[in-house]
Amino acid sequence: MGIKVLFLYPNTYGMNMLPPAIATFSAILKREGHKISVFDTTYYSTDHGNNSDGTKEETLNVVPFSKEMIKRGLIPKKTRWQDDIIKQIDEFKPDLIGLSSTEDMWELGIKLLEQIKYYIKKNKTPVIAGGVFPTFAPDICIDHELVDMVCVGEGENTLIDLCKKIEKKEDFLNVTNIWIKQDGKIIKNSITKPVDINKNPIIDTEIFEDKRLYRPMAGKVYKMFPVETIRGCPFTCRFCNSPDQARLYKGLGHNFYRKKRMDLVQKELKHFKDVHKVEYMYFWADTFLGMSKKELDEFCEIYSEINLPFWMQTRPETITDYNIKKLSEVGLHRISFGVEHGNEEFRARILDRRWKNKDIIEKLKIPHKYGVAFSVNNITGFPTETKKLAFDTIELNRHIDADNANIYTFIPFHGTPLRKMCEDLGLIDHKTITKCNTMSPQLSMPQYPPHEIDEIRKCFSLYVKFPKNRWKEIERAEKNDKEGNRIFKLLKQEYLETYMPKPDADPHGGSEDFEKVENPYCDIPEIRDDLKKGYADEMV
């Protein structure tokens, strides 16, 4: 008959791509005869830092919500998550609770568990935590009283075995890939080989509410699904968890980097288009172009039949005139490139990224040649970095004609080589749980203190876009005082009017009618009163 599994997905407003891991687990467990439900906090006001209730600190690269977003209902819920999770668990009555969490959402996930503690304790319902954070900080995760098990590594086979044993009322102390508490001790079971992703079913989207299937992209809103082509990454960026994932499985004699067969990718794409009427595809591979010319040609032949716009992320060194031309002909709409830092020596030594700036600049001339828009992602606040080095990142971005250039504060996540470096340098304690949703610097370094990191992040786009004869003005705008904030607001308005598209603008030419308003919610009676609570009028 199967069991009932409730997945908890702690997430904040604005991070609204549906989680492919939970969608995959749901499809697998339903195939095994189990019943699945999910509690997802994305559209709740959770009071969990930046973007948790739609609010956003003063920054650039934001535009007002478009009318289409409001029409699609991509706005915060009016109900309280505390009430809704109790109602859901009392109605669903799960036999197993799975908390799927990133590190920065862990504390929110714990809030969810504590809200339903009465049910967990009364029914002795086992709780398993999984994800990258539990994999690389299992000691921290299993330490909480409501967490019985932690999944270390991939969860597909683990959940199949665990649910089967719970259904049969058998002991599950020896299920692979889990740490489990017993009589005050922790049993650490072995990790099995990586999952054969070619055996996974098509993801299950039916467990999510309809609004979770939509996502803003370049000022428009699309029904958009994530598509897996690759799991893992062939590169070794030291701020990413992929190197440690690879090392974890290599130590067991396995390769974590895997590719899905193109015929299965084709089947999934056709299913999304024909059955779910998807309008846009989102390829969530770390490096989409980690493929051969033969694989690229095969993908393009397949995708020519899909004929929908799509997004991908990759590295500058993976693109060529040939592959961008081919991809643009079958629907490539936007690309996100990871550049990360502008100083070549620092980038190679600290980040393990060894490309020359001149090569990055030349490669990033290719997308616009074929009408493909792209964004460039950068990071500042790395260990041993300085504000002077951060200006090398600004300088590199001034030579790249990106449609959007972002900069993020470095976050030392568990499971990344740079986390270990930060711990070794005494910049952070192993037990410290990091949060990227606050955007605040989490390292206090004498050579690059938090207020300087904030200054670079605040004015990065101004430095990149405005001529250098404005830099003294921008430097004054960095300061978080009355005069600095006044100058920043004036520069921000100029920047938005000069460089940012209207929310409803078509980046490839033409635009829909758009009436700029201070807050687009103000014309909606049902939520007009909620403006006083700080609901957002802006979004990345």
147/137 Cα distance (integer angstroms): 13
Q: What are phi and psi of 473, to 5 degrees?
A: -65, -45
pLDDT higher than 80, residue 448: yes
For residues 407 and 340, give the distance between their C-alpha atoms in angstroms, rounded to a whole number.
Answer: 8
The predicted-structure confidence for 275-307, as pLDDT tens digits, reads as follows 999 999 999 899 999 999 999 999 999 999 999
Question: Given this model, what pLDDT does residue 299 score?
Answer: 97
Distance of alpha carbon 390 from alpha carbon 397, whole angstroms: 11
* More confident of the two residues 12 and 160: 160
Inform me whether the pLDDT recorded for 417 exceeds 80: yes
> What H or E segment, with its residue span, contains residue 38?
strand 35-40
What is the CB neighbour count within 10 angstroms for residue 217?
A: 18
Q: Give me the amino acid identity at 339.
A: V
What lies within 8 Å, CB to CB, of 315 at 6+ separation is: 235, 287, 289, 337, 338
Q: pLDDT tens across 336-347, in order?
A: 999 999 999 999
* pLDDT per position as a tens digit, 513-529: 222 222 333 233 332 23
Q: Indicate whether 530 pLDDT > 70.
A: no
Backbone conformation region of residue 439, classed left if phi is above 0, alpha if psi is from -120 to 50, else beta: left
pLDDT: is 65 or 327 the higher one? 327
Residue 297 confidence (pLDDT): 97
Task: Determine the pLDDT at residue 438.
Answer: 56
Selection from 85-94, 231-240, 253-262 with the highest mean pLDDT: 85-94
pLDDT at 18: 86
pLDDT of residue 2: 95
Going by DSSP bridges, is the β-strand pair 127-130/63-64 parallel, antiparallel, or unpaired?
unpaired
Whether the CA torsion 174, 180, 182, 186 is positive or negative: it is positive
pLDDT higher than threshold 50 for residue 45: yes
**Distances, alpha carbon 393 to alpha carbons 93, 311, 445, in Å:** 52, 24, 19
Average pLDDT over all residues of the chain: 88
Check residue 49 and give its pLDDT. Answer: 54
Q: What angle do CA 463, 466, 471 make, to 5 degrees?
A: 55
* Per-residue confidence (pLDDT) for residue 502, from 0 to 100: 53
- Closest by alpha carbon to 505, among 184, 27, 66? 66
Question: Per-residue confidence at 449, pLDDT binned at 50, 70, 90?
Answer: very high
pLDDT above 90 coverage of the chain, percent: 77
The interaxial angle of helices 20-31 and 156-167, nearest 10 deg, is 40
Mean pLDDT, residues 403-418: 94
pLDDT of residue 252: 81
Q: What is the pLDDT of residues 47-65, one digit of tens each?
A: 655 443 334 445 555 444 5
Task: Say what the pLDDT of residue 517 is.
Answer: 26
pLDDT in tens, 465-511: 999 999 999 999 999 999 999 999 999 999 999 987 654 343 333 32
Nearest to 213 by CA among 281, 142, 289: 281
Q: Is 334 helix (H, G, I), strand (E, B) or coil?
A: strand
For residue 127, pLDDT beyond 70 = yes
pLDDT at 406 over 50: yes
The pLDDT score that the predictor gives to residue 520 is: 30
